[in-house]
Amino acid sequence: MVVKIAIVKIGNIGTSPVIDLVLDERADRNDVEVRTISSGSKMGSKQVEDLLPNIHKLNPDIIIFISPNPNAKHPKRAREILSEIDIPTIIIGDKPGEKAIGQMKEQNLGYILIRADPMIGARREFLDPTEMALFNSDVLKVLSITGAFRLVHETMDELINKLNNNEEIELPEIVVKAEVAIQYAGFKNPYAMSKALAAYHIASRVSDMDIKACFKTDEPDIYIPLVTAAHEMMSAAAKLADEARDIEKGNDTVLRTPHRRDGTVLRKTSLMDNFD
């Protein structure tokens, strides 16, 4: 059996650009078929109403819906629509989405909410395309090295495996705190792990600052330094994450977990060793 996965991207968080790629990193898995539909950066009512009806055309076995703040008005409407579709659905979102956990449980929707996937500093005086790309690259680095992305793909791999074997699935209900993410990172060196923990905690604070700057502050002389500081924090978090991985490289203990063609996951740490 080939599991068909439909990924719906409304707006963008740091995980969005790679959510489909981490499931098939070398494009050679034969147990999954992934299709993605996206609204780009916009996440209004038009995008929700235009995109979601297209899901049926993909005939998926499972749906991933990824968006900033699943508790916001239009992602909330998307959740309502998805809850009425008889297809297992997982919501991937950021820290503000935690306010919707109760509703998602009632709607029988799974969720993975990543605290260190923060809102960007979307103030025109500060944010241009270059700054946007730099911020997202820093987010990607932190989420990759601290284990958050491995958590996502291993969670999905488990569901895919069960669907392939016609087994009953249980949708995830995960809030990705620092201590949760780091369990998947596979650090051997305690200093590396500590740097990664620091990176995740710093990134988790970025969201609070950018939300304050973008939605709760009207004075430019206050919100411009706030978004600038938040992006500096994200950059510092990425540097700490890099340092953590470099320690593991120096010890030849970087955990690698590629997929086989059949979707099973291999594991090794020493670069030149064979996989288990």
| HEC-encoded secondary structure of the chain | CCEEEEEEECCCCCCHHHCCHHHCCCCCCCCEEEEEEECCCCCCHHHHHHHHHHHHHHCCCEEEEECCCCCCHHHHHHHHHHHCCCCCEEEEEEHHHHHHHHHHHHCCCEEEEECCCCCCCCCCCCCCHHHHHHHHHHHHHHHHHCCHHHHHHHHHHHHHHHHHCCCCCCCCEEEECHHHHHCCCCCCCHHHHHHHHHHHHHHHHHHHHHHHHHHCCCCHHHHHHHHHHHHHHHHHHHHHHHHHHHHHHHCCCCCECCECCCCCECCECCCCCCCC
- Is the predicted pLDDT of residue 153 greater than 90, yes or no? yes
* pLDDT attached to residue 179: 97
- Is the predicted pLDDT of residue 276 greater than 90, yes or no? no
pLDDT grade for 82, boundaries at 50, 70 and 90: very high
The model carries a pTM of: 0.96
* pLDDT attached to residue 55: 92
pLDDT (tens digit per residue) in 20-39: 999 999 999 999 999 999 99
* pLDDT attached to residue 121: 97
- Is the predicted pLDDT of residue 226 greater than 80, yes or no? yes
* pLDDT attached to residue 1: 83
* pLDDT attached to residue 54: 87
pLDDT (tens digit per residue) in 254-266: 999 999 999 999 9
- Is the predicted pLDDT of residue 120 greater than 90, yes or no? yes
How many percent of the chain have pLDDT more than 90? 97
Average pLDDT over the chain, rounded to an integer: 96
Q: What is the mean pLDDT of residues 167-187?
A: 97
* pLDDT attached to residue 73: 94
pLDDT (tens digit per residue) in 58-69: 999 999 999 999
